[in-house]
Structure 1
Amino acid sequence: MTHDVFNQAPPYAGHDVSADPALVEGLRRESADWAIGELRGLGTLAGSPRAQEWGRLANDHPPVLRTHDPYGHRVDEVEFHPAWHELMAVAVGHGLHAAPWAAARPGAHVARAAKFYVWSQVEAGHGCPISMTYASVAALRHSPTLSAEWEPLLTSRSYEFGLRPASAKRGVLAGMAMTEKQGGSDVRANTTTAEPRADGTYALTGHKWFNSAPMCDVFLVLAQAPRGLSCFLLPRVLPDGTRNAMRLMRLKDKLGNRSNASAEVEYEGAVAHLVGEEGRGVRTIIEMVNMTRLDCVIGSAAGMRLGVTRAVHHATHRTAFGHPLIDQPLMRNVLADLTLESEAATALMIRLAGATDKAIRGDSTESALRRIALATAKYWICKRAPGHAAESLECLGGNGYVEDSQMPRLFRESPLNGIWEGSGNVAALDLLRSIAKEPANLDAYFTEVEQAKGADLHLDTAVRQVKDSFTDPSTLEYRARQVAERLALVLQASLLVRFSPPAVADAFCAARLGPERNMAYGGLPSGVDIESIIERVLTVKSTTG
Structure 2
Amino acid sequence: MTDSMPRSTLTTHEVVNQPPVRGDVDLWSTDIALREAMEREGGQVAAITDYARKMGSQEMREAGMEANRHSPELVLFDQGGRRLDEVHYHPAWHRMMETSQAAGYASVAWQGNPGGHVTHAAMVYLASQTEPGHCCPLTMTYAAVPALAANPVLSELWRPRLTANHYDPSLRPIEQKTSATLGMAMTEKQGGSDLRSNTTRAEAEGDAYRLFGHKWFCSAPMSDGFLTLAQAPGGLTCFLVPRWLEDERNAIHIQRLKDKLGNRSNASSEIEYHGALAWRLGDEGAGVRTIIEMVHHTRLDTALAPAGLMRGALSTAHHWISHRSTFNRTLIDQPLMQAVLGDLTLDVEGALALGLRVARSFDGTSDEDRAFARIGVALAKFLGNKRCPIVTYEAMEMLGGMGYIEETGMPLYYREAPLNGIWEGSGNVICLDILRTLAKEPLAAEVLRQELLAAQGSDRRYDAALSTHIERWPKLPGESEARWFAERTALLLTASVLIRAGVAAVSDAFVTTRIANERGHVIGALGDGISSQLLDRI
Structure 2 letter corresponding to 1:216: S
1:172 aligns with 2:183: no
Q: How does 1:476-487 map to 2 (within 5 A)?
A: 476-487=478-489
1:259 paired residue number: 265
1:106 aligns with 2:121: no
Deviation by residue 1:144-186 (Cα, 9 ceiling, x = unmatched) = 2211111011101121113211111100000000110111111
Structure 2 SS opposite 1:126: helix
Structure 2 SS opposite 1:369: helix
- Looking at structure 2, the residues matched to 426 and 515 of structure 1 have their Cα atoms a distance apart, in angstroms, of 27
1:159 paired residue number: 167
Structure 2 letter corresponding to 1:23: L
Structure 2 letter corresponding to 1:508: F
Structure 2 letter corresponding to 1:455: S
2:19 paired residue number: 9
CA contact (8 A) 1:17 1:43 kept: yes
Q: How does 1:341-356 map to 2 (within 5 A)?
A: 341-356=347-362
Alignment counterpart, residue 424 of structure 2, candidates 421, 426, 449: 421
Q: How does 1:50-89 map to 2 (within 5 A)?
A: 50-89=59-98
CA contact (8 A) 2:355 2:377 kept: no
Q: How does 1:22-421 map to 2 (within 5 A)?
A: 22-32=33-43, 35-101=44-110, 103-197=111-205, 199-238=206-245, 240-358=246-364, 362-421=365-424
CA contact (8 A) 1:195 1:203 kept: yes
CA contact (8 A) 1:98 1:135 kept: no
Alignment counterpart, residue 449 of structure 1, candidates 447, 452, 462: 452
Structure 1 SS opposite 2:250: coil
- Looking at structure 2, the residues matched to 242 and 517 of structure 1 have their Cα atoms a distance apart, in angstroms, of 63
Structure 2 SS opposite 1:336: helix
Structure 2 SS opposite 1:518: coil
Give structure 1 regions of 4+ aligned residues with deviation exceeding 3 angstroms.
none
1:526 paired residue number: 528
- Looking at structure 2, the residues matched to 207 and 312 of structure 1 have their Cα atoms a distance apart, in angstroms, of 46
- Looking at structure 1, the residues matched to 45 and 520 of structure 2 have their Cα atoms a distance apart, in angstroms, of 36
**Cα deviation, residue 143, structure 1:** 1.6
**Cα deviation, residue 62, structure 1:** 0.7
1:437 aligns with 2:440: yes
CA contact (8 A) 1:30 1:354 kept: yes
CA contact (8 A) 2:210 2:277 kept: yes
- Looking at structure 2, the residues matched to 189 and 513 of structure 1 have their Cα atoms a distance apart, in angstroms, of 41
Deviation by residue 1:182-223 (Cα, 9 ceiling, x = unmatched) = 1111111110001111x2101100000000100100100011
- Looking at structure 2, the residues matched to 518 and 141 of structure 1 have their Cα atoms a distance apart, in angstroms, of 49
Structure 1 letter corresponding to 2:340: V
Structure 2 letter corresponding to 1:13: G
**Cα deviation, residue 515, structure 1:** 3.1
**Cα deviation, residue 234, structure 1:** 0.3
CA contact (8 A) 2:361 2:373 kept: yes
Structure 1 letter corresponding to 2:395: S
**Cα deviation, residue 371, structure 1:** 1.2
- Looking at structure 2, the residues matched to 3 and 180 of structure 1 have their Cα atoms a distance apart, in angstroms, of 57
Structure 1 SS opposite 2:479: coil
Alignment counterpart, residue 510 of structure 2, candidates 508, 511, 514: 508
CA contact (8 A) 1:98 1:137 kept: no
- Looking at structure 2, the residues matched to 379 and 114 of structure 1 have their Cα atoms a distance apart, in angstroms, of 18
- Looking at structure 1, the residues matched to 108 and 207 of structure 2 have their Cα atoms a distance apart, in angstroms, of 30
Structure 1 letter corresponding to 2:217: F
How many residue pairs were aligned?
527
1:543 paired residue number: none
**Cα deviation, residue 526, structure 1:** 2.9
CA contact (8 A) 1:62 1:258 kept: yes
Deviation by residue 1:292-334 (Cα, 9 ceiling, x = unmatched) = 1100011111001111111111111110111011111111000
Structure 2 letter corresponding to 1:41: D
- Specify every segment of 5 or more residues in structure 1 that has no aligned partner in the other structure, as ranges: 538-545
- Looking at structure 2, the residues matched to 385 and 337 of structure 1 have their Cα atoms a distance apart, in angstroms, of 13
- Looking at structure 2, the residues matched to 5 and 356 of structure 1 have their Cα atoms a distance apart, in angstroms, of 51
- Looking at structure 1, the residues matched to 449 and 309 of structure 2 have their Cα atoms a distance apart, in angstroms, of 29
- Looking at structure 1, the residues matched to 42 and 100 of structure 2 have their Cα atoms a distance apart, in angstroms, of 22
- Looking at structure 2, the residues matched to 422 and 174 of structure 1 have their Cα atoms a distance apart, in angstroms, of 19
> Which stretch has the larger CA shift, 73-82 or 145-154?
145-154
**Cα deviation, residue 336, structure 1:** 0.1
- Looking at structure 2, the residues matched to 390 and 500 of structure 1 have their Cα atoms a distance apart, in angstroms, of 30
- Structure 1 residues 13, 500: closer, same or farther in 2, change over 3 A? farther
CA contact (8 A) 1:221 1:234 kept: yes
- Looking at structure 2, the residues matched to 214 and 467 of structure 1 have their Cα atoms a distance apart, in angstroms, of 46
Give the TM-score taking structure 2 as reference length. Answer: 0.96
- Looking at structure 2, the residues matched to 88 and 522 of structure 1 have their Cα atoms a distance apart, in angstroms, of 37
CA contact (8 A) 2:47 2:119 kept: no
**Cα deviation, residue 500, structure 1:** 4.3
Structure 2 letter corresponding to 1:450: L
Structure 1 letter corresponding to 2:222: M
Structure 2 SS opposite 1:408: helix
- Structure 1 residues 215, 244: closer, same or farther in 2, change over 3 A? same
> Which stretch has the larger CA shift, 168-177 or 516-525?
516-525
Q: Over the residues paired in the alignment, what is the CA RMSD in angstroms?
A: 1.2
**Cα deviation, residue 472, structure 1:** 5.2
**Cα deviation, residue 43, structure 1:** 1.5
- Specify every segment of 5 or more residues in structure 2 that has no aligned partner in the other structure, as ranges: 1-10
- Looking at structure 1, the residues matched to 472 and 158 of structure 2 have their Cα atoms a distance apart, in angstroms, of 45
Structure 1 SS opposite 2:183: strand
CA contact (8 A) 1:140 1:275 kept: yes
- Looking at structure 2, the residues matched to 279 and 389 of structure 1 have their Cα atoms a distance apart, in angstroms, of 42
Structure 1 letter corresponding to 2:63: W
CA contact (8 A) 1:23 1:350 kept: no
Structure 2 letter corresponding to 1:100: A
CA contact (8 A) 2:313 2:410 kept: yes
- Looking at structure 1, the residues matched to 521 and 152 of structure 2 have their Cα atoms a distance apart, in angstroms, of 49
**Cα deviation, residue 491, structure 1:** 0.7
CA contact (8 A) 2:132 2:263 kept: yes
**Cα deviation, residue 41, structure 1:** 1.4
